[in-house]
Amino acid sequence: MERDLQLGMKCLNLKKGKNASNGSNGKIESHLEQNSESVNRDPSIFMGAQGVGISVYVLYYKDKRKGFQSFIIRIRFIVSLAMENSATTLLNSSLHESTVSSSSFTTLLSFLSTLVVMAFALYQLFKFLFLGNEKAKQPPLPPLLLKPWPILGSLPEMVLNKPTFRWILELMKEINTDIACIRFGNVHVIPVTCPEISRQILKEQDAVFASRPISMSTDVTTKGYLTTALVPLGDQWKKMKKILLIDLLSPTRHRWLHEKRVEEADHLVRYVYNLCKTSDKGGLVNVRVASQQYCGNVPRKLFFNRRFFGEGKEDGGPGFEEEEHVSALFTILAYLYSFCLSDYIPCLRGLDLDGHEKVMDEVLQIVGKYHDPIIEKRIQQWEKGEKKGVEDLLDVLITLRDDNDKPVLIEEEIKAQITEFMIATVDNPSNAFEWALAEMLNQPEILEKATMEIDSVVGRERLVQESDFPKLNYVKACAREAFRLHPIAPFNVPHVSVADTTVANYFIPKGSHVLLSRTALGRNPKVWDEPLKYKPERHLKEDGSPVSLNEADLRFISFSTGMRGCKGILLGTSMTVMLFARLLQCFSWSIPPNEKTINLTEAKENLFLAKPLVVVAKPRLPSNVYPA
């Protein structure tokens, strides 16, 4: 600092006797430029009247060698006045470089100008000192995982280290931190692996972290942010959230849709039962196909009042159309928030350097090919008065009216929201059941315990129903344990900070993308005993109180919590527990004869079981109980 002040003085002294309009001293400028990262000049102020001029600029610079900010205030002025009474003389007569002369107007002008100069200089000085203090007080960023390159941040490394989620978690392990910072472009990405910090973010500072990132994949999926889950904080999010909570997912609506859910639960049993019939010893069932199709059939029934877009298969399984539809939904999910280059350097959008845009375009066309004709036809039916009764959720969305009896939603909003609803529904329950069954087959005592619970609560003479769920604590614990140990997504849906803030004593700048790691939370050895073991008992309470699939304390992530927490807990729970309960009640499951145990290896590029689970199912209830 001492050196800088000397420099400042030198600056003023060097100016003595030089032509004021020259504006700067070459030596000092070059010293600053050589030794500073940035020189920030406030523009000169010129009062410009017949050679009357004042030039002020303040130089801030960060000394590269010393590493702190310093400043020089440089005042340069040319005054055309009689200076006797001028306050300028108070400053330093040596600074006057020319004195021209005359009228009282110019005297006044000069005096006022000087005041302005001094006020401005003081303001800049205070601003500098204040900011300096703030900066000094400001905590550091979370530990940097990599030293960022200029402009690109750590994007080059990101491109070279796929899958990005495994690489980020490895880097965090290496430096043993629960919160970190990695810069992609100019975005601060903040991964978090422990529940305490997660709670600070989603509970204590929920409102600060309530936005979502802008990204190529969310933009195209939501038709320009017309939906709920993938939309940044704002009026559209509020509007759609209200519609979801009141019109699509409220407890009343849930009851209204009960029959449709039961139809799909029955159909799931019918389909697997048909697969069993291929042999006396039971049939091979691809559990991934069965559970994913159930999770696709339910929302199709809820919105479009139909299970199949095409004919389906004779055994009740998905036809080509349903397989293509569900596969497109999973591809959308895989590409959402998938570390696409243009999400961090937006000017790259359109160049499609990593191929994400082409894939998204293709799969959204597939989804549109199935959804759009149904939606468009239905809108027309309502417009022409051909349809009267509200029969499904599509009718609900089309018939929503505002206070002026105008439609609340335009066609694009309906289309985008239905796609988002489908992707929100299809993945978590199906993945949880596939993993849970794989784990249970390697620990048959758990499978036995879950089946026995259903037998004791429901019996073998009827199919399990939603009204039985409150008594199925062990089955729910099995589902909960699958969410803990085998989440479908590596990170929670990203949250974006809407203001600068501090978390865990680290500074989190506004606009940061916070990623709570679902695997690191659920498998955290500081929280979970034997974290890698599938052990549903850990979720049972001693007092026998009800087990919920929700985990608001964020010791793992199922539905998350706070303003951006899941809006579909009721439906998501119903679908998940039904999938578990029906398939465990109706069939005995076993490992195929040619395999000893189920291989529980996780896929490298995502968190699925590496190979789809294909195992033997055998009916275990009297044949009259199975739906015809």
CB of 225 to ligand HEM, least distance (A): 12
**Binding region for ligand HEM (CB under 6 A) out of 399-407, 419-427, 457-465, 470-478:** 419-427
CB of 117 to ligand HEM, least distance (A): 52
* 228 near ligand HEM, judged by CB under 6 A: yes
Locate 269 and state its tokens. Answer: 């049993």
Q: Is 381 exposed, middle or buried (0-12, 13-18, 19+ CB in 10 A)?
A: middle
Answer yes or no: are the C-beta atoms of 576 and 479 closer than 8 Å.
Answer: yes
> Binding residue per annotation — 276?
no
Query: Binding string, 149-188, against ligand HEM, x = CB under 6 A?
Result: ----------------------------------------
| Residues 6 or more apart in contact with residue 127 via CB below 8 angstroms | none
Is the Cβ of residue 424 or residue 450 nearer to ligand HEM in the bound state?
Answer: 424
* 421 near ligand HEM, judged by CB under 6 A: yes
For tokens 């955290």, the residue is 524
Task: Name residues contacting ligand HEM, limited to 543-602 (CB under 6 A).
Answer: 557-560, 564-568, 571-572, 576
Task: Tell me the C-alpha distance between 241 and 236, whole Å.
Answer: 8
Element (H, E) at 429: helix 428-442
Specify the DSSP class assigned to residue 211: B
Say whether 442 sits in a helix, a strand or coil: helix
In the sheet that 182-184 helps form, which strands lie side by side, from edge to edge? 182-184, 187-192, 513-516, 495-496
Is the Cβ of residue 52 or residue 302 nearer to ligand HEM in the bound state?
Answer: 302
Element (H, E) at 580: helix 569-586
Is the Cβ of residue 201 or residue 341 nearer to ligand HEM in the bound state?
Answer: 201
Answer yes or no: are the C-beta atoms of 35 and 101 closer than 8 Å.
Answer: no
Q: Is 38 exposed, middle or buried (0-12, 13-18, 19+ CB in 10 A)?
A: exposed
Is the Cβ of residue 253 or residue 567 nearer to ligand HEM in the bound state?
Answer: 567
Closest by CA to 472, choosing from 421, 526, 540, is 540
* 201 near ligand HEM, judged by CB under 6 A: no
Is the Cβ of residue 76 or residue 518 nearer to ligand HEM in the bound state?
Answer: 518
Q: Which residues of 127-150 are buried (b: 16+ CB within 10 A; e: fewer)?
A: ebeeeeeeeeeeeebbbbbeebee
Task: Name residues contacting ligand HEM, limited to 249-268 (CB under 6 A).
Answer: 249
CB of 513 to ligand HEM, least distance (A): 12
CB of 232 to ligand HEM, least distance (A): 10
Closest-approach residue to ligand HEM (CB): 568
Is the Cβ of residue 76 or residue 223 nearer to ligand HEM in the bound state?
Answer: 223
Is the Cβ of residue 58 or residue 336 nearer to ligand HEM in the bound state?
Answer: 336
One residue of 425, 430, 512, 517 binding ligand HEM per CB under 6 A: 425
* 464 near ligand HEM, judged by CB under 6 A: no
Report the chain's C-alpha Rg in angstroms: 33
Is the Cβ of residue 7 or residue 287 nearer to ligand HEM in the bound state?
Answer: 287
Answer yes or no: are the C-beta atoms of 98 and 168 closer than 8 Å.
Answer: no
Dihedral angle, C-alpha 315, 317, 322, 328, nearest 10 °? -150
| Residues 6 or more apart in contact with residue 444 via CB below 8 angstroms | none
One residue of 244, 285, 363, 547 binding ligand HEM per CB under 6 A: 244
CB of 137 to ligand HEM, least distance (A): 30
Task: Name residues contacting ligand HEM, limited to 468-527 (CB under 6 A).
Answer: 492-493
One residue of 148, 283, 429, 536 binding ligand HEM per CB under 6 A: 429
Task: Name residues contacting ligand HEM, limited to 339-358 (CB under 6 A).
Answer: none
Is the Cβ of residue 134 or residue 259 nearer to ligand HEM in the bound state?
Answer: 259
Total number of residues that touch ligand HEM (CB under 6 A): 24
* 330 near ligand HEM, judged by CB under 6 A: no
* 229 near ligand HEM, judged by CB under 6 A: yes
Q: Which residues of 397-431 are buried (b: 16+ CB within 10 A; e: fewer)?
A: bbeeeeeeeebbbeeebbbbbbbbbbbbbbbbbbb
Binding residues for heme: 566
Binding residues: 566
Residues in the site for ligand HEM, rule: CB under 6 A? Answer: 228-229, 241, 244, 249, 421, 424-425, 428-429, 492-493, 557-560, 564-568, 571-572, 576
